[in-house]
Each structure stands twice: as structure tokens, then as C-alpha cells.
Amino acid sequence: MSFFKKLKDKFAGNAEEEQSTEKYKEGLEKTRTGFTSKINDLVAKYRKVDEDFFEELEEVLLQADVGFETVLELMDELRYEVQRKNVRDTSNVQSVISEKLVEIYQAGEKELNEISFADGLTVILMVGVNGVGKTTTIGKLAHRLKNEGKSVMLAAGDTFRAGAIEQLDVWGERVGVDVIKQAAGSDPAAVMYDAVRSAKSRGVDVLICDTAGRLQNKVNLMNELEKIHRVISREVPGAPHEVLLALDATTGQNAMIQAQTFKDVTEVTGIVLTKLDGTAKGGIVLAIRSKLNIPVKFVGLGEKLDDLQPFDPQKYVYGLFAEGLDKEERLEKGSADK
């Protein structure tokens, strides 16, 4: 059975699977609609595996923001694979394509999309550039962990942006967890110190720390983040146990530089790919995974409390194609209208 067929079945049948991934699917609705026909289109359009087919495939991936270097590498490998296996029919090449993509992503490792918890207090630090959805993600993550039976506390570490503390406060209320905060403009490292202290004394399981959005090329702000990191690890050895980088799915190639810089400063352990319910697919995470070895742990699929789901590479790869083809059509339609 081909890879795509397997995936297709996964989406179509199997009631159990259906239920467990209801949210994921809802978020990817625009991607999923008419997906089967889309893939068939690409296959139907090119009966043979030739240069034209590869070129179109290349474009589909580039339009998903996978990034030039990774796409070229993938294309080389595919060409080689196709030659080696002597694949001539496009219907057979599908499996090779997606297997390769998932392979690039997984790099032979087992999936690591879960939070690693410590024995006592687990500290999760949320970082990222401005406007990627850090605070919203924290709200959703807190909800998720609370549902798993953990006691959760939040730290309002964004003391800079107007309204940021209030925003986290609202999330805390919605989820029903405590928020440790100080006045706007106070030292974020001091907030963290306070938060870690009270998390320890109250014996909570998980402390999730919000930080202000910062562009990775602002040296002072990155130094501040380093200090925050230092303060936390001084108070709790081995902490923060998770440093999650929130990445906006609409971001292009700059995401790679973001991942690199934040990793250098805070030892990022995972990515949360936010806003995946739009039309952008954030394909750069493939490149980030293969170059920097940072896995995606969660995806944000909407604005509701339970719209944060564990990352599933197979479904994700599947979405890349549908969206790419979709985009192409829309754009063609757009330019034809003019």
C-alpha cells in the first residue's frame, strides 16, 4: 500500500482515529478539503516521473516555505531514489516522496513530541519573536496539562509589552491556574525568581514561564533572555526542562535564523508551530529539524482552549502537498481574474 493511501485511509475511515484527531483535522480543514483529488491531480497531470514532475514538486515544496537548500537536497535524493528503484510511474513515486520527507524530519529518531517532565517541579520556558502567539500557546498548554491532572502555575515574564500581563491573567482565569506577576516594566528575571520560588513552595507540578517577544537580532534582549534562563536554572537544577520556541507558521526563511539564535541562547528543546489553521504551512520546520535537530512538539490550530495538539509528522507532510497545490490553483485563478 502506498504511503499516501495509508494516510488517506487514516483520514477517511477508522472511527477511533477520527475522534482522537478531531481537533487536528478541524484546524487543517482548508488543507484537507478535496485533498484526495488534489494529490490525484498531480499524479494525473504527470503520468511519468520526469523533470517536469520534479520541477512542479519542487515548487509545491518551496511554496510551503520548506526553504531552498532542503528542497534541493530532497530533490537530489528523490532523483537518485527514483533512478535506483527504477520508478517510472507517478503513482509509485508518491510513497517515495512522503517517506523521504518524513525521514528528513525524523532523521531516524523516535518522535519526541511530548514534554519531558522532571520528578519534582517541571519548568517550561516559552520564547520567540514578537506576535507569534507565545501567551496564547501558554494558555492552551496550561489547559492541556491541567487536563492531564497536573497542577500548573504561570509566570508573567512579559513585563514589557503593553497589556501582556493582563493577557496572561485572562488565560490563567480561563484555565483556572495561578499567575505569578509583578508590575509592568519590572525585571523579568525577578519575576521568574519569584515564580520559581512560589512554585516550589506551593509544590506545583509545572511552571510555565512567559517571556516578552524579542527579535533575535536584538543583542540586549537576547542577553536578558539568557539571564532569565540562568536565574531559573540556578533555582531549580536542570531547569528549564523544556524551552519551547513559538514559531508562526506564516514565517518564511527567517524562522531558521530565529531557531538558530534562540537555540544558542536558551537551548531550545522544541518548537510550537502556531497559526497552522491559516493557509501557511511553516514548511521551514523541516529544514530546522534537519539542520538544527529541533523537533516540533505542538501545533496551534485555532484560538480555542483545546486547539493545541501534539505534532504528527505524517499528517503534517500530507498537509504540505495539499496546501501547495491549493495555493497554486488560487494564485492561478487570481492572476486569471486580472
Partner 1 sequence: MAFEGLSERLQGTMTKIKGKGKVSEADVKEMMREVRFALIEADVNLKVIKEFVKKVSERAAGSDVMNSLTPGQQVVKIVKDELTELMGGEESKINFSTKQPTVIMMVGLQGAGKTTTTGKLAGLLRKKHNRKPLLVAADVYRPAAVQQLETIGKQLTIPVFSKGTDLSPVEIARQAIEHAKAEHMDTVIIDTAGRLHVDEALMQELKDIRALKEPDEIFLVVDAMTGQDAVNVAQTFDEAIGISGVILSKLDGDTRGGAALSIRTVTQKPIKFIGMGEKMDALDVFHPERMASRILGMGDMLSLIEKAQTNVDEEKAKQLEEKFRTSSFTFDDFLEQLDQVKQMGPLDEILKMMPGANKIKGLENAKVDESQMGRVEAIIRSMTIKEKTTPEIINANRKKRIARGSGTSIQDVNRLLKQFEDMKKMMKQMSGMNSKKGKKKMSMPGLDSLFK
Residues that bind partner 1 (CB under 8 A): 30, 59, 62-65, 67-68, 129-133, 136, 139, 160-164, 166-167, 169-171, 174, 184, 215-220, 248, 250-257, 260-261, 275, 277-282, 284, 303, 327, 330-331, 334-335
Q: Which is nearer to partner 1, 95 or 250 (CB)?
A: 250
Q: Which residues of 210-248 are buried (b: 16+ CB within 10 A; e: fewer)?
A: bbbbbebeeeebbebbeebbebbbebbeebbbbbbbbbb
Angle between helix axes 134-147 and 164-175 (nearest 10 degrees) is 20
Q: Which is nearer to partner 1, 30 or 200 (CB)?
A: 30
Q: Which is nearer to partner 1, 114 or 166 (CB)?
A: 166
Q: Which is nearer to partner 1, 189 or 236 (CB)?
A: 189
For 147, counting Cβ atoms within 10 Å of its Cβ (0-12 exposed, 13-18 middle, 19+ buried), the class is: exposed
Provide the 3-class DSSP secondary structure of residue 247. Answer: strand
For 80, counting Cβ atoms within 10 Å of its Cβ (0-12 exposed, 13-18 middle, 19+ buried), the class is: exposed
> Do the Cβ atoms of 150 and 199 come closer than 8 Å?
no
Q: Which is nearer to partner 1, 133 or 240 (CB)?
A: 133
Q: Which residues have C-beta within 8 Å of that of residue 143, sequence separation ≥ 6?
A: 174, 175, 305, 306, 308
Q: Which is nearer to partner 1, 5 or 161 (CB)?
A: 161
Least distance between partner 1 and beta carbon 53 (Å): 17
> Do the Cβ atoms of 331 and 287 come closer than 8 Å?
no
